[in-house]
Amino acid sequence: MRRVGAVCTLAMLIGLAACGPGSASDASVTLTVWTSQEEQSSQDAWLQTMERAFEEEHPEYDITWNNAVVSSADAPTMMRQDPSAGADVYVYASDQLGTLLDAGAIGQMSRDAVEQIREQNDDVSIQTVTAEDGEIYGVPLSGNTWFMYYDASVYTEEDVRSFDALLAKGVVSFPMTNSWYLPAFYMGNGNTIFGEDGTDVSAGVDFSGEKASEVTEYLVGLRNNPNFVNDADGAGLAGIQNGTVDVLFSGSWDSVNVKEALGENFGVAQLPSYNLNGKQVQMRAFAGSTAVAWNPYSDQPIAACQFAAFLGTAESQLSRYESIGFIPTDTSLAADSEVADDPVAVAQLDTVNNTSVAQPSLAEMNDFWKPCENFGKAIINGDVTAANAAEKTEAWNSAYDSLK
């Protein structure tokens, strides 16, 4: 069983401030930990199991655990309100990293923890917990992205590599009016949001020029294709369920419903490429993560940093997957028999590794979504045409000028 150390030493605290303010941890330690209900539902749940394992690995501590139910979606809000009253260790959604940093509510990971994170994860997963300063805040636990479900009675494994082949043989749903999905076509063609790695505010949003307008023209053609369905208000899943749709772009949260609908014809894969004016362009989904972090206001910064890193180990991620089904980010676990036999897990890991970009976690990203949604609606409504695609795309990009 692999274990990766993540020891915050006093030298790190003083020299690097890597585990935040405060003194070295005392032998008697109380740690407040926030996770979701399902992660701590019983004494045999993931969190309690990992707490006992941490105690065994760190006999130097006499630990009192103070667990509270706070989801990864709610934790950032509560931490921002008053970090000094927040948990020592908490789970958060990576798209909230920027706002947590602004509030001073998240601690930089230690040198040893960073080594662990870099060993375990691909570049995209690492980027989800990397701030504008280039430092790492938190340890990825599970990925958050979307991929492709398909009817395997309609398509071959070769077909599902091409968006255009999908359209030629069946009905394809795609949420063009959803701003989490629409950028996949643009980002594959070299358009960027806050620079190449999503951490450069000064780079702004670059959905301009021919590299953007030609994608818009493609999307206008897609809208007009009789085999295309805009997936809004659940139309895609409903179509899979009633047999009128053959392809659905969604995430792991829809796997049970799609499996039930398709049965033995259940297919799932990473994102395809599409033919853009004679060249193959790889679609790229936003990828985020659910990560575990420590609070720089903690009275026990060393123990808090250590435990956050411990929760992100391969052993812990596998335990979390086995108990509640959250697909891990640790790349070594792709070879674990249980993960490898789960086609949804394989599709998510393949997508993160091969066909994604890290979703920017800067606070400015909050202002990206609405103009993108509106542009998708303008394409669907016919306000954007092949004739005005360049003009409309530039106007859309101009809506982001204030973010630089």
**CATH number of residue 132's parent domain:** 3.40.190.10
The answer on 307 and 221 residing in a single domain is no
The answer on 258 and 170 residing in a single domain is yes
The whole-chain average pLDDT of the chain stands at 93
The answer on 181 and 33 residing in a single domain is no
Task: Give the model's pLDDT for residue 8.
Answer: 40
Task: Give the model's pLDDT for residue 27.
Answer: 84
Contact indicator for 129, 72 with CB cutoff of 8 Å: no
In a domain, 160, yes or no: yes
Quick check: 24 pLDDT over 90?
no
Mean pLDDT of 343-369: 95
Quick check: 119 pLDDT over 90?
yes
Quick check: 95 pLDDT over 70?
yes
The answer on 176 and 103 residing in a single domain is no
Task: Give the model's pLDDT for residue 320.
Answer: 97
The answer on 184 and 234 residing in a single domain is yes
Task: Give the model's pLDDT for residue 26.
Answer: 53
| E strand or H helix that includes residue 90 | strand 89-93
Contact indicator for 139, 312 with CB cutoff of 8 Å: yes
The tokens for 148 are 């492709």
In a domain, 174, yes or no: yes
Local confidence band at 264 (pLDDT 50, 70, 90 cut-offs): very high
In a domain, 190, yes or no: yes
In a domain, 353, yes or no: no
- The last residue of a domain, from among 344, 370, 392: 344
Buried/exposed code over 282-309 (b: 16+ C-beta within 10 A; e: otherwise): bbbbbbbbbbbbbbbbbbbbbbbbbbbb
The answer on 123 and 59 residing in a single domain is yes
User: What is the rounded CA–CA span in Å between residue 301 and residue 274?
Assistant: 48
- The last residue of a domain, from among 319, 344, 369: 344
One-letter amino acid for residue 392 of the chain: K
The tokens for 46 are 């993931």
Local confidence band at 16 (pLDDT 50, 70, 90 cut-offs): very low
CB-CB neighbours of 351 under 10 Å: 25
The answer on 137 and 200 residing in a single domain is no
Contact indicator for 79, 86 with CB cutoff of 8 Å: yes
Question: Where do runs of H (alpha helix) occur along 228-326?
Answer: 235-242, 255-262, 301-311, 314-324
- The last residue of a domain, from among 320, 344, 368: 344
Quick check: 228 pLDDT over 70?
yes
The answer on 139 and 29 residing in a single domain is yes
Quick check: 157 pLDDT over 50?
yes
How many angstroms separate the Cα of 386 from the Cα of each of 81, 224, 281? 47, 11, 19
The answer on 193 and 233 residing in a single domain is yes
The answer on 30 and 92 residing in a single domain is yes
The tokens for 115 are 């080594």
Q: How many CA atoms lie within 13 A of 34 on its CB side?
A: 23
Percentage of residues of the chain with pLDDT beyond 90: 92
Quick check: 18 pLDDT over 50?
no
Per-residue model confidence as pLDDT tens digits over 169-221? 999 999 999 999 999 999 999 999 999 999 999 999 999 999 999 999 999 99
In a domain, 350, yes or no: no
Query: Which sign does the torsion angle of CA 49, 54, 55, 56 carry?
Result: positive
In a domain, 4, yes or no: no
The answer on 76 and 66 residing in a single domain is yes
In a domain, 321, yes or no: yes
pTM tops 0.85, yes or no: yes
In whole angstroms, how large is the CA radius of gyration of the chain?
A: 22
Task: Determine the structural domain holding residue 59 and report its residue range.
Answer: 10-144+287-344
Quick check: 32 pLDDT over 80?
yes
User: What is the rounded CA–CA span in Å between residue 103 and residue 86?
Assistant: 12
In a domain, 1, yes or no: no
Structural domain total, the chain: 2
The answer on 378 and 242 residing in a single domain is yes
User: What is the rounded CA–CA span in Å between residue 222 and residue 243?
Assistant: 21
Burial of 224 (0-12, 13-18, 19+ CB in 10 A): exposed
